[in-house]
Amino acid sequence: MRSGNKELIKFVKKRRDQLGLTQKELAERAGVGLRFIRDLEQGKETLQLDKVNQVLVLFGYKMGPIRINDRDEL
pLDDT tens digits, residue range 31-55? 999 999 999 999 998 888 899 999 9
- Domain positions in the chain are 3-59
In 1-74, alpha helices (H):
3-18, 23-30, 34-41, 49-56
User: Fold for domain 3-59?
Assistant: 434 Repressor (Amino-terminal Domain) (1.10.260)
End-to-end CA distance of the chain: 26
State mean pLDDT over 17-43.
Answer: 96
Angle at 60 between CA 16 and CA 71, to 5 degrees: 100
pLDDT at position 74 is: 56
